[in-house]
Structure 1
Amino acid sequence: MDLFDSMRIFVRVVERGSFSAVARELNMGQPAISKQVRALEQYLGGAVFARSTRHLALTDQGQRFYNHCQEILSQLEHATRSFASGQEQIAGPLRIAAPVSYGRLCIAPLIGAFLQRHPDVQIDLRLNDYNEDLLMENIDLAIRIGVVKSEGLVAVPLGTSTRRVYAAPAYLDRHGQPREPAELAGHNCIAFTLLEHYDRWHFTHRGEALEVAIKGNVTSNNSEAIREMVLGGLGISLSPQWLFAADFEQGGVCSLLDEYQTTALPVSAVFSRERRRSARTMAFIDFLRENV
């Protein structure tokens, strides 16, 4: 077994959510993918997936191993890029695309520090919640949250976006606090519609995968709109920690069901396979890996 190859396959299975999708992506048979994961589990001495009939979820140990794999593979990619980049000058225009809320809250605050390090770069930051065509829009680099499915893109892992269940104290005073995921079915849940299967929330508890069909009287395709509605006491949301971090610290929202693990979404820097990777693009990716 090649450990690095098995780690790469394992990471892709986590990100794609199925063995068959990764088999198609890598032009391999599904039994070969399953065999690689089983060999990895045998090597580790434990299961990385809590398999169920409807959803493939990580065990607690599998989640920790996945986080380590992302870091190790990112470092390997970084070392390879650093060797290949040579002494190319880091200068010129850099067009970056990012989701609106994540770009405003997590990327924009970092731009100044990057430009202090590389003052000859000119950045055009484009915020859009829809995935733009990188070649057609002449975009050097895009930040994507969730699984990157396009085979025409190279995805460099930056980390994961951990999600929690949030509600305002005013909502909980009126409707009570759910004590387990199944009770969410009786609450007004605000769904983020840009995610696949947004009407089903997934949890893991003690190695068991749980799926809850949620319902509510409002949905939105914008994270900050959901934040405002949650703060206003309208309902409960499953949202990234970075979206509610300040509100949570100030007591504006409560984090619910903390003993249940939610599915973290991968955060990636992506670029087109057909576009030349400039030194400034690689420098910004390295900067994000240090600071995101």
Structure 2
Amino acid sequence: MDQFSAMRAFVKVVETGGFSEAARQLGVAVSSVTRQVNRLEAMLNVRVLNRSTRSITLTSEGRKYYDKAVRILQDVEEANLSIMEGKDVPRGLLKVGMPVAFGQRHIAPIVCAYLKQYPSVRLEL
């Protein structure tokens, strides 16, 4: 079992209030989400959700697990973003042609801030 996927499925079920909506948001079949949550409960050897035909509620153990799982998933997302952050940074030579009056009036005021934000960009006007 992919514990990370099961954790994500469990959190999504809690946040959406149901297996169907969780599956829709995750882009998987309802049976897949149900299976992941069932396997998670089997692995933990504890019930994390109380299920009825009309509602899903957390058990006390489920609440503890949910709180920790949310933090873990947020940490993983932050780690991924911090690594990918530098991948989409503009860099290289930017050649811009325009009339002088337009450049002085509209472009000059923003160029310095842009170049400070993206120091890997060289500007040629």
- The equivalent residue for 2:83 is 83
Q: How many residue pairs were aligned? A: 89
TM-score w.r.t. the length of structure 2 is 0.65
Matched, 1:48 2:73: no
The 4+ residue runs of structure 1 with deviation greater than 4 A are none
Q: Structure 2 vs 1, CA of residues 26 and 63 (structure 1 numbering), >3 Å: closer, same or farther?
A: same
More strand by proportion, 1 or 2? 1
Q: Counterparts in 2 of 1:61-72, with a 5 A limit?
A: 61-72=61-72
The residue identity in structure 2 corresponding to 1:26 is L
More helix by proportion, 1 or 2? 2
2:47 aligns to what SS in structure 1?
coil
> C-alpha displacement at 1:32, in angstroms?
1.5
Question: Equivalents in 1 of 2:81, 2:23: separation in Å?
Answer: 27
TM-score w.r.t. the length of structure 1 is 0.29
CA shift digits 1:43-89 (9 cap, x unpaired): 1110000122321000000011000001001111111111111296x
- Bigger RCO (CA 8 Å, 6+ sep): 1
Question: Equivalents in 1 of 2:82, 2:5: separation in Å?
Answer: 21
Question: Equivalents in 2 of 1:68, 1:80: separation in Å?
Answer: 18
2:28 aligns to what SS in structure 1?
coil
Q: Counterparts in 2 of 1:124-143, with a 5 A limit?
A: none
- The equivalent residue for 1:36 is 36
1:28 aligns to what SS in structure 2?
coil
> C-alpha displacement at 1:11, in angstroms?
0.6
Query: Greater Rg, structure 1 or structure 2?
Result: 2
Question: Equivalents in 1 of 2:26, 2:50: separation in Å?
Answer: 23
Q: Structure 2 vs 1, CA of residues 49 and 84 (structure 1 numbering), >3 Å: closer, same or farther?
A: same
- Unaligned residue ranges in structure 1 (runs of 5+): 89-119, 121-292
2:50 aligns to what SS in structure 1?
strand
Q: Percent same amino acid at aligned positions?
A: 40
Question: Equivalents in 2 of 1:27, 1:85: separation in Å?
Answer: 25
Question: Equivalents in 2 of 1:12, 1:51: separation in Å?
Answer: 15
The residue identity in structure 2 corresponding to 1:49 is L
